Each structure stands twice: as structure tokens, then as C-alpha cells.
Amino acid sequence: MRRSKKRFKINKVLWVLVFLTALTLLSLPRWMAYFYPQPHQELVYKYSQENNIDPNLVFAVIRAESKYQTRAESPEGAKGLMQIMPETGQWIAGQKGVNDFLVASLHDPEVNIQFGCWYLASLKKEFGNNLPLFIAAYNAGSGTVRSWNEGGIWRGDLDEVDRIPYRETRNYVKNVWNNYQAYKSIYK
């Protein structure tokens, strides 16, 4: 009789552990949201929709580029949430017909997200919707990535991401891709 009570207690403990593990796994995306927040959500949704870009990708880029810091500035001079270079910002402003653009406005979340979404859409169109290619182009520049693609160095296949000649861009593509997958999983 004692043995069956002991076995019953062990089975009960095991079932409780299985239940708690399942509960934890099912709530994992909610818990992970702490590490993958959605800052400036209204702006991201507005400008990603305007430019036909997945908002999860925009959040993934923001996380990789600035860790959500509006005042972020790289040693090379890229500014704001989506780390836009001043020359790129001026070019985007010209393309969008913005005549009163100031480089300092790249620290303004609305301007930065608007320009970043527009630029992602431009790269998406240029690279035929090949997500890894236009993520790489956001980091290394479209001319550089086009030369890799046309030269057969790297054609945008994630399985061959290690063929990207620039370590920074290789790591960037992996980082943004992982962020993107996490955002898609959490914010279904």
C-alpha cells in the first residue's frame, strides 16, 4: 500500500511538472515580448503600411540598429532608431519631395521611421522581394549587394549567408533575420 501511495505522489508531481512546462512554453511569446518591445508602435504601423513593409521587419531593424534608442548615432554618422546615414536621409528627402529636410531630424522618431520604411520598400522593390538581399543592402548599400548578387558571390540565400564578404553585413543579416523571426512569433 505504501508503495502505491509513493508512486501516486511521484506521478502527481510529474504531471504538475508537465503542466507547468507546457504552460510556460505556451506563454513564452508573452514573456519574450519584454526583450522584443514595439516602441513607437503607431508610427511603425503607419509607415510600414504606407510602404507595404511588414512592421515586424521594421521592429527587427530598429532592434538591430539602435536597440530602440532615438538618439543613437554610429561612429560612421548613422542616426536615430533605424540608423540612417545623413547622405541617405538627404537622398530619401529628395525622392519624397521633402524640401526642408535637416539631418538633425533623423533623431525624430517619426522622420526616422518614415524614411526607414520608405528606404526598406525601395530596397525591397530593387531586390525583387528577396528579404535577405534587401536586409543586406540596408547595411552594406544596394550597389555592393547588387555586385555580390550579379557576381555570384551571394545571391541572397540564407543557407549561404556565410558567403557574404563583409563580416559586419553577415552578422547584421543573421541578427535582423533572428529578430524578425522572434517578432513574428511573438506578435502573430
Q: pLDDT tens digits, residue range 119-153?
A: 999 999 999 999 999 999 999 999 999 999 999 99
> Is 150 a known active-site residue?
no
With contact defined as beta carbons under 8 Å apart, do 157 and 87 qualify?
A: no
Q: What is the pLDDT of residue 172?
A: 98
Banded model confidence at residue 32, pLDDT cuts 50, 70, 90? confident
**Residue 18: all three cell numbers together:** 508537465
Which position among 42, 50, 65, 150 bears the catalytic label? 65
pTM as predicted: 0.84
Q: Which residues contact 168 (CB under 8 A, 6 or more apart)?
A: 139, 140
**CB pairs under 8 A, 24+ apart, for 9-16?**
none
Taking Cα atoms as reference points, which of 157, 149, 146 lies closest to residue 123? Answer: 146
Q: Which residue has the cell 534608442?
A: 69
Residue 40: what residue type?
Answer: H
